[in-house]
Amino acid sequence: MFDLIMKSERGTQMEQYVKYLRKSRFDRDYAELSIEETLKRHEAILDKLAAQRGYYIAKTYYEVVSGESIAARPEIQKLLEEVNAGFYAGVLVVDVERLARGNGADQAYISQVFQFSGTKIITPTKIYDPSNEFDEEYFEFGLFMSRREYKTINRRLIRGRDSSASEGKWIGSIAPYGYNRVKLPNEKGYTLEPHPEEAPIIQKIFEMYLNHQGTKVIANYLNDREVPTRHGDLWTYSTISQIITNPVYMGKIRRGWSRQVKSIENGEIKKRIKRKKDMSSYDIYNGLHPALVSEEDFMKAQEIRQDRKPAAPVREEYQLMNPFSGLLFCSICGKRIGRTTMTAARNHAPRLRCTNSRDCHNCSAYFDVVEKEIIGALKSWLKGYKVKIDTVGYTDDIEITRKQLMKIEQELKKLSKQLENTFDLVEQGVYSFEVFQNRRAKLVLSMEDMEAQKAELQKKVQRLEESQSSKASLIPQTEELLASYDHMTNQERNELLKEILERIEYYKGADGQIVIDLYPRLPKI
């Protein structure tokens, strides 16, 4: 936006300094404080230090991520680029470990950047001058000791978690599905207790699996009955597999079954989780929590999984029979419309009726009749939607927002120029330092406000563009459904319908007329 090093007409430089603030997860003094509170306290310390020594602070970096390596910390990357370019006379930090507590390669790189650029590292207790051989060694030793302490604390944490696991305590921050995480009375640590709604679902999953119903069948069964997951999404075969293989459900605690694997790809550190599948390859301890399935049943489930026998034919009761499951609701009372075959008419042909039929007077109808009406309504909607999407869009709104954005950017340029002028005026003696500070503070506040407005407008443009694209995507999805509907399974129909529609409302009066109302899954602005 403007040069970070200010030059007078005589070519001299006005020294500038930068603050770098970061909360370490190993902070002891501020362990109970939020990131914002910790950074605020640290910033007050550095502001006082700058005032005492007469440093002009040109910029402040706030690092709010938890990563220890440079690759995981975008703000330190930006800072080091500017330090390497020689923008600053010094960097103010609460202590040197804020710069690097990670691996040795990171520490060596940071040390070189400060040494080659001649940038000082300033803490409340010491100034490290990289041009001074003693200070250089002292700084590198400080980083080394910081790294050593980091490793020691990490090892201590791992030992503590290993010990807790061997005692049967739950060491995870989130309880697995089927349990609640609870504090142990009169001692440190946590355990698990059965979740009243979720625990029976876990038991049903194992029951079905022991009856040789596959993971996909079980997932379909739960989705068809609208059994909620922990996060509100659909059940999948992989989720069922994870449950089947988790010894926590037979009252055990596993340790060492997964680990983080790091690799370098295209100069970036990539992280992935590697899990061990064989129970003999990781530690298992008796848990303090109650089991949801017996150890015998759990081990039988593992044998079935190992054998990989062809799945038995899917029992009819577990098949998805209603392609409108989770979508079809009564337009009178709002209750779900369910599929039933409890009738002697038409050779027990399935019907759709309100699940609140005792109190609701919405008449039932044959499934195939309602299905035909829904497909017809979908075709009519698609025809009208194509016309609408071609004639009405967000083009005008996008253009208006872009013009507002251009205006903001022009204002920012003006303010930036004014800010540059204040530096010239103070160097020329037109402004006193006090006047300069007041003027600069006002301009910076105005620029921050403009930057906030700019960010909001950029987000709005993005939302409008994404919405326009999302609206258009409904057309090929609906066309695919209509073209392939007769050749799809009920599960496939249901999944695609849920991508297109949020809700279908059904009404049938005494006159036999069926009314279908569709609620497409249109993007929200």
Q: What is the pTM of this model?
A: 0.39
Q: Are the beta carbons of 351 and 341 closer than 8 angstroms?
A: yes
For residue 401 the two structure tokens come to 């927002």
> What pairing do the DSSP bridges indicate for beta strands 90-92 and 127-128?
unpaired
Full strand arrangement of the beta sheet holding 57-63: 57-63, 17-22, 90-92, 120-122, 127-128
What HEC string does 8-48 produce? CCCCCEECCEEEEEECCCCCCCCCCCCHHHHHHHHHHHHHH
Q: Are the beta carbons of 192 and 181 closer than 8 angstroms?
A: yes
Rounded to the nearest 10°, the torsion over CA 34, 35, 38, 44 is: -130
Residue for token pair 């409904």: 474
pLDDT of residue 26: 46
For residue 2 the two structure tokens come to 């403007």
10-residue mean pLDDT profile of the chain (525 residues): values are: 37 75 58 68 90 91 69 82 91 80 67 86 85 68 57 60 78 87 87 93 92 83 85 81 89 71 53 56 81 92 71 54 88 86 60 84 89 92 76 59 82 81 72 75 82 80 60 74 86 86 89 90 59
pLDDT of residue 343: 46
Domain boundaries of the chain, sorted by first residue:
6-164, 179-317, 320-525
Give CA–CA dist 376/392, Å, rounded: 24
Helix pair 490-500, 433-484: axis angle to 10 deg: 140
Is domain 6-164 annotated with CATH 3.30.43.10? no
For residue 86 the two structure tokens come to 């020689």
Burial of 55 (0-12, 13-18, 19+ CB in 10 A): buried
Residues in the chain: 525
Is domain 179-317 annotated with CATH 3.30.70.580? no
In CATH terms, are 6-164 and 179-317 the same topology? no
Measure Cα distances from 105 to 69, 136, 144 in Å.
9, 16, 11
Q: Cα-flanking dihedrals φ and ψ of residue 268, to 5°? A: -115, 145
What HEC string does 414-473 produce? HHHHHHHHHHHHHHCCCCCHHHHHHHHHHHHHHHHHHHHHHHHHHHHHHHHHHHHHHHHH
For the chain, the distance separating the N- and C-terminal CA atoms, rounded to the nearest angstrom, is 32
